[in-house]
Structure 1
Amino acid sequence: MEDEERLMVTFQVGGNPDWMSRLPERLLDVPLWNLAIPGSHDSMSFCLDVSSPVLRSQPCILRVIDRLFPCWTRPCVYRWATTQQSVLRDQCDLGIRFLDLRIARKPAGDSKLFFAHGIYTLMTVKEALDELATWLDAHPKEIVVISCSHFESLTDEDHVHLAEYIITLFGKKLCSSQDIPTLRSCWSRGQQVVVSYDNQQMVLQHPQLWTGIPYW
């Protein structure tokens, strides 16, 4: 088998909370990036806040219309931007192992960070990560890839606090970017989380964080 060969996994319909632990022996030493990992697009869009303003990164004309007619723009953006219906733990139960987390700070808000897709979410980043950590505790042989990106309006201080929170929360569960993770190697070390963090400064400071994953 060539290293670059992509290995496909067939999933049962209706739920796959522990599918990684049931993979055949021949896949256990294959680097994770050569496995087909099912993921969800804009994973947190199940909890968008229809009362929130549109993002500052949205086109100027949309932001102007949103200020004038929020009762029209926000429901429209909400319907367009909602790509998921299930909470994170349910997505993981269904077999999802790549989570697309687009992080943002709300304008005129406090230090809490949220997610965003067109508009902001109701759930905070810490609430979502805590939920994921609890799920991982119950499924010790499952490995998830967390892609943290976009970082709408985050400050340098926000990045520092977020990176520290991720590292503290997941601790020894984090796969080091210095390693070549396979299922067997991760299981032997108790590792369950690969964090892709799309901010090179943070990646250079923390070997627990992986560089940003290109996303189409």
Structure 2
Amino acid sequence: KKSAVNTSIDLANWMGNLDESKRNTSINFIAIPGSHDSMTYGISRSSQISPDAEDIVKELAKCLNPFVKLIMYGWSVTQSKAVSKQLYMGIRYFDLRVATKEGNPNFYFVHGMYANNIDPALSSIAEFLDAHIKESVILDFQHFYSFNYSDHQRLIDILIKIFGDKLCPRPSDVRSVTLNWMMENNNQVIIIYRNSFARTEPFLWPSNLWPTPWPNTMNVSVLTQYLKEHLAKRPQNTGFVSQCVLTPQTSTVTHNFFSNVRSKCAIPVSRTIIPWIQQQSPPLNVAIADFVEMNNANFPLTVISLNYS
């Protein structure tokens, strides 16, 4: 059955406004909207090519730099709203890819091109959480590029400095973590750290506690089938991410040089995937999408509405 989309939800406070039974439900069975490549709104047409870009792009950029960047820009940006706006739209899961930059001590968000220094965005998340004490977020550090041992140490120090006591310790069983339990312990931030470094700190959750299978397709019906099959067999004792996104292949870009993720990926997905989400009840956990603000934040509204069905 289709659940109705509840358009009266207060998106800035939706977790705090859930009824008690939901707030005492394991966090891996709450429907939580997230953004894919959350920080790419910080990429501009003049941004540098980043270490995660494909080798061919790096080579081409050496001789055709402005042209390559113009094309890359359209295919690197998957979000247009700053993280503070995303939070007010109900987004509570953030997909993060981080890199170093030569001759520069800062860390940057990346997706083919460099976005912003990580500190201001992470600080704005902390500020939002200070003002909304019943809300929690999941920060998923998916990839680390041009990182060595001491870079991981430095990044972890930054996370401790910004979030401090808000950091939720890694549980022995994810099912023991509920929104109420987190609030009682003043924990508002779950950090998934997809690197073996996760074992070094009690507040880093390793990759296996929150699987995120990657559909890697440009075909909407293949995507829908993939999401169905993986959701049906998801583990019950971990979190789970459903990636409601199309992935541009090299041929997509070469046939559509001056197009972009919004028109070729996000719009086709929203037409098909929103109705599919409406038919789920949790086992859907985290669902992520590109351009989460589209159609008056219809994506986060649809996901959050599942918690009322």
Using structure 2 for the length normalisation, give the TM-score.
0.63
What secondary structure, in the 3-state scheme, does the structure 2 residue paired with 1:23 have?
coil
Q: Quote the Cα distance in structure 1 between the aligned partners of 2:204 and 2:192.
A: 6
Find 1:214's aligned residue among 202, 211, 216. 211
Q: Which residue number in structure 2 is paired with residue 118 of structure 1?
A: 112
Q: Which residue number in structure 1 is paired with residue 156 of structure 2?
A: 163
What secondary structure, in the 3-state scheme, does the structure 2 residue paired with 1:62 have?
helix
Shift of 1:60: 2.3
Mean Cα displacement is larger for which, 152-161 or 175-184? 175-184
Q: Which residue number in structure 2 is paired with residue 190 of structure 1?
A: 186
Q: Which residue number in structure 2 is paired with residue 83 of structure 1?
A: 78
Shift of 1:53: 3.2
Find 1:145's aligned residue among 135, 138, 146. 138
Report the identity percentage: 33
Q: Which residue number in structure 1 is paired with residue 14 of structure 2?
A: 19
Instruction: Give the letter aligned to residue 23 of structure 2.
Output: L
Instruction: Give the letter aligned to residue 194 of structure 2.
Output: D
Q: Quote the Cα distance in structure 1 between the aligned partners of 2:106 and 2:64.
A: 27
8 Å Cα contact 2:51-2:112 kept in structure 1:
no
Instruction: Give the letter aligned to residue 86 of structure 1.
Output: K
- Listed as ranges, the gaps of 5+ residues in structure 1 are 1-7
Distance 1:120 1:208, change over 3 A: same
Q: Quote the Cα distance in structure 2 between the aligned partners of 1:80 and 1:63.
A: 15
Distance 1:92 1:53, change over 3 A: same
Instruction: Give the letter aligned to residue 93 of structure 1.
Output: Y
Distance 1:204 1:64, change over 3 A: same
Q: Are 2:91 and 1:74 equivalent residues in the alignment? A: no
CA deviation profile, 1:129-167 (whole Å, cap 9, x unmatched): 111111111111001000012111012111001112212
Q: Quote the Cα distance in structure 2 between the aligned partners of 1:45 and 1:115.
A: 7
Q: Quote the Cα distance in structure 2 between the aligned partners of 1:185 and 1:173.
A: 13
What secondary structure, in the 3-state scheme, does the structure 2 residue paired with 1:195 have?
strand
**Structure richer in helix, relative to its length:** 2
Distance 1:82 1:11, change over 3 A: farther
Q: Quote the Cα distance in structure 2 between the aligned partners of 1:190 and 1:196.
A: 18
Find 2:125's aligned residue among 126, 132, 156. 132
CA deviation profile, 1:20-46 (whole Å, cap 9, x unmatched): 011112112111111111000000000
Q: Which residue number in structure 2 is paired with residue 54 of structure 1?
A: 49
CA deviation profile, 1:87-138 (whole Å, cap 9, x unmatched): 10100000000001111112x23110001011111x2111211111111111
CA deviation profile, 1:66-101 (whole Å, cap 9, x unmatched): 111111110111111111011101000000000011
What secondary structure, in the 3-state scheme, does the structure 2 residue paired with 1:111 have?
strand
Q: Quote the Cα distance in structure 1 between the aligned partners of 2:134 and 2:203.
A: 19
Mean Cα displacement is larger for which, 154-163 or 51-60? 51-60
Q: Which residue number in structure 1 is paired with residue 93 of structure 2?
A: 98
What secondary structure, in the 3-state scheme, does the structure 2 residue paired with 1:145 have?
strand
Q: Quote the Cα distance in structure 1 between the aligned partners of 2:190 and 2:109.
A: 19
Shift of 1:11: 5.1
Instruction: Give the letter aligned to residue 190 of structure 1.
Output: N
Distance 1:14 1:20, change over 3 A: closer
Instruction: Give the letter aligned to residue 118 of structure 1.
Output: G
Which of structures 1 and 2 has the larger relative contact order (alpha carbons within 8 angstroms, sep 6+)?
Answer: 2
Using structure 1 for the length normalisation, give the TM-score.
0.89
Q: Quote the Cα distance in structure 2 between the aligned partners of 1:81 and 1:32.
A: 31
The number of equivalent residue pairs is 206
